[in-house]
Amino acid sequence: MRPISYSRATAVADAVATVVADPTSDFLAGGTTEVDLLRQNVLLPRRLVDINDLPLTQIEDRPDGGLYIGALARMSEVADAAGVQERFPMVAQALVLGASAQLRHMASMGGNMMQRVRCGYFRDATSPCNKRDPGSGCSALEGFNRGHAVLGVSEHCIATHPSDVAVPLMALDARVHTEGPHGRQVYPIDDFFLLPGETPHLEHPLEHGELVVGIEVPGLPMARTSMYMKVRDRESYEFALASVAAAVTVEDGAISDVRLALGGVATKPWRARRAEEMLHGAPADTESFRRAAREELAAARTTPLNAFKAELAQRTMVRVLETLTHPERQS
Amino acid sequence: MTATTLAIGQPTDRVDGRHKVTGGAHYSADVLLVGMTYAVMVGARVPSGRITHIDTDEAMQAGGVLAVLTHENLPGAAAQPPLIPSLAGMPAPGQTFFPLQDEVVHYTGQPVALVVADSLERAQHAAALIRVSYQEMPAVTTLDQGRDDAYEPEAIFAGFVPGRTERGDVEAGLAEADVLVDATYSFAANNHNPIEPSATTAAWDGDQLTLYDATQGVTATQLTVAALLGLTPSKVRVISHYVGGSFGCKAMIWAHPALAALAARHVGRPVKLSLTREQMFTSVGHREEQEQRVTLGADKKGRLLALRHHKLSPTSHFDDWAEPSLGVASQIYACPNYEGVYRLIRANTMTPTFMRAPGEASGMFALESTMDDLAHELGIDPIELRLRNYTDTDPTTGNPWSSTGLRVCYERGAERFGWHRRDPEPRSHRDGNWLIGYGMATAGYPVYGPNNPQRARARLYSDGTAVVQAATPDFGTGVATVMTQVAADALGLPFERCRFEGGDTTLPTIAAAVGSSGAGMISAAVHTAATNLRDQLIAQATADSQSPLHGADPGTVTVRDGRMMLRDAPETGESYGDLLHRNFLPDVEAAGSWSPSAESTRYGMTTFGAQFAEVAVDPDLGLARVRRMVGAFAPGRVLNPKTARSQLMGGMLWGLGQALLEANYMDPRRGRWVASSLGDYLVPVNADAPEVDIELIDVEDAFVNPLGVKGVGEVGQVGAAAAIANAIHHATGRRIRKLPITIEDLL
């Protein structure tokens, strides 16, 4: 491994100041992805500031029925929290379906928001990759791209955003809190993740040294019956080929409110706003679900290897909506 | 265990289980030696070309670096031994190419430099500082790229298997058939991925080399490295007490043990060379990408009249290698007319190698999927179709089977599985969103015999304990446990008073334990040695005037619980210990040597089984989930049903992985594997593993080896993928002719 200097911070301000002062430095939380990428020479920091001692591990219930999750709460702790399981089952489900038990005990919620893509060309440290080496080209566009994104893609990058838990958080309009050189910032989660566009190396609107300190989830009563479904080749320990987080309210056979987000198919956690719009007021039946799903994926840009994901995403949306609205039909 | 119970056949716990789970078992990369240094391999980044320049200056100046070895300064190999499967007991290089000899690059990942430093981290850092410039040349790395340039080799598999095999007249048979099924199957490449990466620690003491190597055969490592370095084998000692799995990638000897030895000689200190997970995809062979076409002709009753089986696959530029996919598939059914042809493509890859039922697993997938089509087309139950084509003789030779048990396997497997509940109509079983399918297939795996004598040594101490020794390592199969059982029964000792030692070339020579042959050949050697020792002790007692057995006919003496006695008058006798103490003998020792009998060549020798799978398919989401697997196998004598069952279960789950998950692909533009980690190369995890039910069918085999052991190492995989694919067909009505079967195939 490359020589790296390492220090542990005990106060947020110190951690931020240390990283701000050194452009070649980075924060280190659970390390479950970052250490791999260091070993692979994909990430090349000269200094790591370990933030695991910072007091950011809280999981608090908010008066509005929402949550505030500290950036260093571990995935497994959040998945086990009663408030999360009762009021936001899709968040707990997304966490449990992510990674492996060992990784969930290590990985932090803030780190999960900041995790890098799984694109093999990004991770091999040698192939051309606009994310790793801006302007070098995208090897995935005509490469092995079975797992790559079909939504939010650009001609510069088609890497899929890998997070599970960010998908229900997107559906819930969560807000990401940061501390940085210019103090505290709060980002609506949709703004926290950037589309690749012409600048795939920019994944978040953060300054160097700006640290995720927490995630705020507003209260949403309908989320009590929400669900997260993840479709993948292997039953566990694998990223999604398509996933759906949804919450829906039906009144008199019609959809009165719906939240819908997709994972595994887009370059960022994907709020299915077009589908939500179509579903508002529509009858809660398969035909409506199919139409809405089709509409959401109409913008999909596929390759021969990943074309099935556009279809798979639609079918997963339909399955989730049917399960939520007609649980008696499912097994 | 009481003294009257035989040790063989008991479900004895592994003797090394506690060591393994408490961390007491030391693997090859755990070895710590005084002055240890660490080597890191640098692999080529291009699949084809020439190295125009290697800049090692920065690496040489990095902290702790002792040497950077490249083709410019590494001593040349003394000789390149031919590629011969390690079971033959000769030098066994995985490919007839040794790296770092010149500037030519033949495949991505080919070692182009080796860095040695005083710590692993410093060696890794220096390795990242080496700059290699290449003049790239066009490369072929996929089957599709080379399809038009395929050739028919005279022989494959190191010359052991002809490129073309014919019997009868396949064209005439097909012309005569009432029904034809013609299908082409494609298979992704596979990588072994044992959890322990390959590793070698090399240390010189003068001109004596010691290697701690993760290998299936210490002798294979010894002879291969000796040949490459120009040493006499007696100057190379190889030690391998524990091996963390192999799946075939440690069956042949790749470049790293010799490179570690060369590096250790260069720096004058011990060198540890451990492959990274990523390097495990480019350094130890793989199961090749392949395409197989099967044409079956049958009469209206389903009896096979002709079978044509062709295979096309890429090999390296050095060797004509294909896994022998047409082998068992040409033997399993009666069929008068047959044609099997291998075609190869020269590609910029390593030489492929043995991997988990090499050939049998892929060939039987193709055959058994096609047989399922035939059953469906003729409206015959799949088991009945197979019974109609059952053969008592090996169709390739006409010799009778040494033993079979196949009919009982079908019968018992079907009963345990509940096959009679299967409605033959596809899509006829449903459970909510899931379509349920039942599938079955035949399993078969050859009983390979070694080419040369297998040896063991047994020693009894005057305290009544014994040690048996043979050079074989235990790579996770339970060899040390079952050989202790074998020795206990042959010596007439309780299991607890016997111990097995292996994994060291200073012990009697055993060929590499490959091809599911370990239990058969090693038990033969151990049994022979221990029986010789027992006979020697009985002879000594009956010749000893002070023994109660003096003058008795040795044939009338039996041994139980360490006491020799007359079979018909058990009160007359004495213990081994009494005999040794009285004669001032601290120990008595005997050697044993075994080769397959000449008689065995008059028999076809195959382990048979039957596989059953229940698969649930969610047709909307393209998900296939295996709910149950049942296997019935007839592996001859079962030395230890616990370890045997574990191996068979593991084999069946390999089959699940082969069917639904395991795949690697070459990116043809870059000539590199797309998966190089266990995150990208999927193997089944616990959540994928269904209930696996196994029945062991008793068959006696008097010909394979002294104890009638046919082997359980790989037959568990054969047919498992076909049973799953056949179940998917039954569930959905869709026949998928590629492996693995993934979501996009079922949407």
Domain assignment present for residue A308? The answer is yes
Please tell me the distance from the alpha carbon of residue A126 to that of residue A115, in angstroms, as a whole number. 20
The two three-digit tokens of residue B33, written as one number: 């030696």
Q: Is the pLDDT of residue B256 over 80?
A: yes
| Segment B476-500, tens digit of pLDDT | 999 999 999 999 999 999 999 999 9
Neighbours of B430 (CB within 10 A): 12
Query: What pLDDT is recorded for position B4?
Result: 52
Query: What pLDDT is recorded for position B1?
Result: 36
Domain assignment present for residue B129? The answer is yes
Cis preceding-peptide flag for A327 (omega within 30 of 0)? no
Query: What pLDDT is recorded for position A299?
Result: 95
Residues B639 and B697 occupy one common structural domain: yes
Domain assignment present for residue A175? The answer is no
Instruction: Give Cβ neighbours of residue A45 (< 8 Å, ≥ 6 apart).
Output: A4, A24, A25, A26, A38
Tell me the nearest-neighbour CA distance from A330 into chain B, angstroms.
6
Residues B609 and B679 occupy one common structural domain: yes
Query: What pLDDT is recorded for position A331?
Result: 54
> Which phi and psi angles does B21 have, rounded to 5°?
-80, -15
Neighbours of B393 (CB within 10 A): 14
Domains of chain B: total: 3
Please tell me the distance from the alpha carbon of residue B638 to that of residue B26, in angstroms, as a whole number. 29
Residues B570 and B545 occupy one common structural domain: yes
Task: Name the residue among B124, B623, B747 with its Cβ closest to that of A1.
Answer: B124
- Looking at residues B214-220, what average pLDDT do you find? 97
Helix (H, G, I), strand (E, B) or coil at B541: helix
List the one residue out of B193, B167, B14, B149 whose CA is nearest residue B678.
B193
Residues B105 and B90 occupy one common structural domain: yes
The two three-digit tokens of residue B241, written as one number: 């007490």
Tell me the nearest-neighbour CA distance from B746 into chain A, angstroms.
10
Regarding beta strands B164-167 and B337-346, do their DSSP bridges make them parallel or antiparallel, or are they unpaired?
antiparallel
Residues B426 and B543 occupy one common structural domain: no
Domain assignment present for residue A128? The answer is no
Chain B, nearest residue to A317 by Cα: B621
Residues B521 and B611 occupy one common structural domain: no
Helix (H, G, I), strand (E, B) or coil at A183: strand
Domain assignment present for residue B201? The answer is yes
Domain assignment present for residue B628? The answer is yes
Burial of A44 (0-12, 13-18, 19+ CB in 10 A): middle
Helix (H) or strand (E) holding B316: none
Tell me the nearest-neighbour CA distance from B124 into chain A, angstroms.
5
Taking an 8 Å Cβ-Cβ cutoff, which residues of chain A contact chain B? 1-3, 39, 41, 118, 120, 124, 126-127, 139, 142-144, 146, 231, 233-238, 241, 308, 311-312, 315-316, 318-319, 330-331
Residues B588 and B642 occupy one common structural domain: no
Pick the last residue of a domain from B574, B595, B616: B595
Dihedral sign from CA coordinates of B266, B272, B273, B276: negative
Residues B486 and B586 occupy one common structural domain: yes
Phi-psi category of B584—alpha, beta or left, where left has phi over 0 and alpha has psi -120 to 50? left
- Looking at residues B601-629, what average pLDDT do you find? 98
Domain assignment present for residue B324? The answer is no
Neighbours of B420 (CB within 10 A): 8
Beta bridge partners of A262: A244, A270
In this complex, do B685 and A236 lie within 8 Å of one another by their Cβ atoms? yes
Where does the pLDDT of residue A328 fall: very low under 50, low under 70, confident under 90, or very high at 90 and above? confident
In this complex, do B688 and A318 lie within 8 Å of one another by their Cβ atoms? no
Query: What pLDDT is recorded for position B501?
Result: 97
Residues B408 and B261 occupy one common structural domain: no
Domain assignment present for residue A215? The answer is no
| Segment B339-371, tens digit of pLDDT | 999 999 999 999 999 999 999 999 999 999 999
Domain assignment present for residue A297? The answer is yes
Chain A, nearest residue to B119 by Cα: A1
| Segment A78-92, tens digit of pLDDT | 999 999 999 999 999
Residues B591 and B607 occupy one common structural domain: no
Kindly report the CATH number assigned to the domain that includes residue A259: 3.30.390.50
List the one residue out of B151, B390, B119, B81 whose CA is nearest residue B271.
B119
Where does the pLDDT of residue A330 fall: very low under 50, low under 70, confident under 90, or very high at 90 and above? low
Q: Is the pLDDT of residue B402 over 60?
A: yes
> Which phi and psi angles does B621 have, rounded to 5°?
-100, 0
- Looking at residues B523-537, what average pLDDT do you find? 98
Q: Does B32 touch chain A (CB under 8 A)?
A: no
Q: Is the pLDDT of residue B602 over 70?
A: yes
Domain assignment present for residue A262? The answer is yes
Q: What's A32's DSSP letter?
A: T
Beta bridge partners of B612: B440, B630
Q: What's B194's DSSP letter?
A: -
The number of helices, as runs of H, and strands, as runs of E, in chain B is: 16, 32
Say if residues A244 and A258 touch (Cβ distance below 8 Å): no
Instruction: Give Cβ neighbours of residue A155 (< 8 Å, ≥ 6 apart).
Output: A138, A141
Give catalytic residue positions of B: 714
In this complex, do A234 and B625 lie within 8 Å of one another by their Cβ atoms? no
pLDDT over 90 percentage in chain A = 97
Beta bridge partners of B314: B345
Query: What pLDDT is recorded for position B2?
Result: 40
Residues B692 and B674 occupy one common structural domain: yes
Domain assignment present for residue B352? The answer is no
Q: Which residue blocks in A135-241 are alpha helix, DSSP H?
A: 166-171, 189-192
| Segment A124-148, tens digit of pLDDT | 999 999 999 999 999 999 999 999 9
> Which phi and psi angles does B725 have, rounded to 5°?
-65, -40
Where does the pLDDT of residue B607 fall: very low under 50, low under 70, confident under 90, or very high at 90 and above? very high
Q: Is the pLDDT of residue B88 over 70?
A: yes
Say if residues B568 and B561 touch (Cβ distance below 8 Å): no
Kindly report the CATH number assigned to the domain that includes residue A27: 3.30.43.10
Pick the last residue of a domain from B232, B259, B281: B281
The two three-digit tokens of residue B646, written as one number: 């574990």
Q: Is the pLDDT of residue B179 over 50?
A: yes
Q: Does B136 touch chain A (CB under 8 A)?
A: no
- Looking at residues A247-267, what average pLDDT do you find? 97
Query: What pLDDT is recorded for position B244?
Result: 95
| Segment B147-165, tens digit of pLDDT | 999 999 999 987 889 999 9
Where does the pLDDT of residue A6 fall: very low under 50, low under 70, confident under 90, or very high at 90 and above? very high
Chain B residues inside the 8 Å CB shell of A146 = 744
In this complex, do B620 and A237 lie within 8 Å of one another by their Cβ atoms? no
Tell me the nearest-neighbour CA distance from B665 into chain A, angstroms.
8
Please tell me the distance from the alpha carbon of residue A244 to that of residue A275, in angstroms, as a whole number. 12
Domain assignment present for residue B145? The answer is no
Query: What pLDDT is recorded for position B588?
Result: 98
Residues B616 and B741 occupy one common structural domain: yes
Query: What pLDDT is recorded for position B158?
Result: 79
List the one residue out of B654, B639, B642 whose CA is nearest residue B716.
B654
Domain assignment present for residue B322? The answer is no
Residue type (1 letter), B454 = Q
List the one residue out of B587, B185, B578, B571 whose CA is nearest residue B368.
B185
Dihedral sign from CA coordinates of B422, B427, B429, B434: positive
Query: What pLDDT is recorded for position A2?
Result: 84
Domains of chain A: total: 2
Chain B residues inside the 8 Å CB shell of A143 = 667, 669-670, 674
Task: Return mean pLDDT, chain B.
Answer: 97
Domain assignment present for residue A75? The answer is no
Domain assignment present for residue A247? The answer is yes
On whether the pTM is more than 0.95, the answer is yes
Domain assignment present for residue B76? The answer is yes
Angle formed by the axes of helices B518-542 and B479-491, to 10°?
30
Domain range holding B397? 388-449+602-747
- Looking at residues B224-232, what average pLDDT do you find? 98
Task: Name the residue among A126, A139, A238 with its Cβ closest to that of B682.
Answer: A238
In this complex, do A143 and B667 lie within 8 Å of one another by their Cβ atoms? yes
Domain range holding A254? 229-326
Helix (H, G, I), strand (E, B) or coil at A7: strand
Kindly report the CATH number assigned to the domain that includes residue B620: 3.30.365.10
Where does the pLDDT of residue A327 fall: very low under 50, low under 70, confident under 90, or very high at 90 and above? confident
